[in-house]
Amino acid sequence: MCATTLKRFCPVSLGDWLKVCQAAGVPFVPAEQVSVIRREDYLNWTDEGAVRERLMTAYSQISEAADDNYMMRYDCCSSTEVKAALAHGKPEWSDDFCFLMIDDPRVYTIVEEYPREVVPIWKRPWIDAAKVAGYPVEYRAFVRDGAVVGVSNYYPQRQLPYNEAHLREVVRYAEVLAAALTGTPFEWHSGMAFYNGRDELDLSGVHFSADFIVSVSEEVSFLEGGPPHELGAHECCFNEDDIEGIALTDGEYYSRLEPETFLALQETTQCLVDAAMLADEHVIRYGGAFSEALYNDQEMEAHRDESYEDILRAEGEID
């Protein structure tokens, strides 16, 4: 296992993550740097003169590098177009993913917290991912104090079936990344100051979240990483203050495992199978599930024959 040679590691930098993956031998979705922008230029993109000229040059380079079945992204995040498509169960590649809009409000708020002066722009292949109910098969691993404490289905919009092979790979790769980062100082994003979780962590330790995607050929690869949940990463299917074990559907059923080794995976199989029988994917609420009370037995029965589209229509997500 090879430790990273980075002098400082930024958990919101895709470029840093790919260097760590390469050093540690963790498979990852590749990326090619096609341009850079100055952080201050992006935050002041309405300015004329030199700022406008530099930005025009950068975005021209991005447009020239566009290719079918590729996407463009900033070092710290992807575009609103990409996030919105995936969040609504539309994982097919679109040529909209090849271009970056300078006035993307989502990107603006994230770049504002980016801790470096220069933001690389990356070109990545669009992965033909395995899918369940229209969503890619992705997982988020949560690492605290150098140990994997939880793994979640990335998309709470639908339940993800239990797959021991996937889970073991995700845990193994996250553990390898944690080991590779041990001893490397972290360069935290400025937004961490707004999270209460900063008081719960020793910021000299190894804390992060890491997302993994599964291809149609069942290969698990690192996709991107970020801060730990305590400093901003979404909890996905876990309850907000209760991240431990495995969560495959939004806040309803998850198994508690030994955080250090996850050796209890096999023992939880029947528990998750039973949960899957109760939690039909068509009765998992979209969007508002995070803030609403969990379905009780009576509600589950009432919605048993309701289609996924009916739920989205009732909540105003589709016409």
In which element (H, E) is residue 139 found? Answer: strand 138-144
Chain centroid to Cα 230, Å, comes to 15
Q: Which of 93, 125, 157 is the last residue of a domain?
A: 125
142 with 272, same domain?
yes
In angstroms, rounded to a whole number, what is the distance separating the alpha carbons of residues 306 and 272?
23
- In terms of Cβ atoms closer than 10 Å to its own Cβ (0-12, 13-18, 19+), residue 14 is buried
Residues 82 and 44 in one domain: yes
Phi first, then psi: give them for residue 275, nearest 5 degrees. Answer: -65, -40
- Show Cβ contacts of residue 297 under 8 Å, excluding neighbours closer than 6 positions: none
Q: Per-residue pLDDT tens for 282-302?
A: 222 222 222 222 233 333 334
Contact 179, 1 (CB under 8 A): yes
**Cα 111-112-116 angle, rounded to 5 deg:** 70
Q: What is the CA radius of gyration of the chain?
A: 20
Give the phi and the psi of residue 231 in degrees, each rounded to 5.
-120, 25
Give residue 259's pLDDT.
Answer: 35
Token duo for residue 314: 């009732």
Element (H, E) at 56: helix 50-64
- Residue ending a domain, choose from 87, 106, 125: 125
Q: Give pLDDT, residue 240.
A: 77
Q: Are residues 171 and 111 in the same domain?
A: no
Using the 3D structure, point to which of 99, 125, 151 is the last residue of a domain.
125
120 and 196 in a single domain? The answer is: no
Do the Cβ atoms of 98 and 127 come closer than 8 Å? no
Which helix (H) or strand (E) covers residue 37, if one does?
strand 32-38
Q: In this predicted structure, what is the pLDDT of residue 268?
A: 36
Q: HSE, CB side, 13 Å, CA atoms: give it for residue 147.
A: 11
pLDDT at 2: 56
Residue 179 shares a structural domain with residue 255: yes
Asked if the structure places residue 273 within a domain, the reply is: yes
Range of the domain at 72: 31-125
What phi, psi does 215 have (nearest 5°)?
Answer: -80, 170
The pLDDT score that the predictor gives to residue 192 is 63
61 and 164 fall within a common domain? no
Structure confidence at residue 316 (pLDDT): 54
Per-residue pLDDT of the chain (319 residues; tens, 9 = 90+): 456 678 999 999 999 999 999 999 999 999 999 999 999 999 999 998 999 999 999 999 999 999 999 999 999 999 999 999 999 999 999 999 999 999 899 999 999 999 999 999 999 999 999 999 999 999 999 999 999 999 999 999 999 999 999 999 999 999 999 999 999 999 998 766 566 566 778 888 999 999 999 999 999 999 999 999 988 899 999 987 788 899 998 654 444 443 333 333 333 333 333 333 333 332 222 222 222 222 333 333 343 344 444 544 555 545 5
pLDDT tens column, 244-267: 899 998 654 444 443 333 333 333
| Helix or strand holding residue 74 (H, E) | strand 70-74
- Residues 138, 112 share a domain: no
In a domain, residue 113? The reply is yes
- pTM, to two decimals: 0.78
Based on the structure, what is the number of domains in the chain?
2
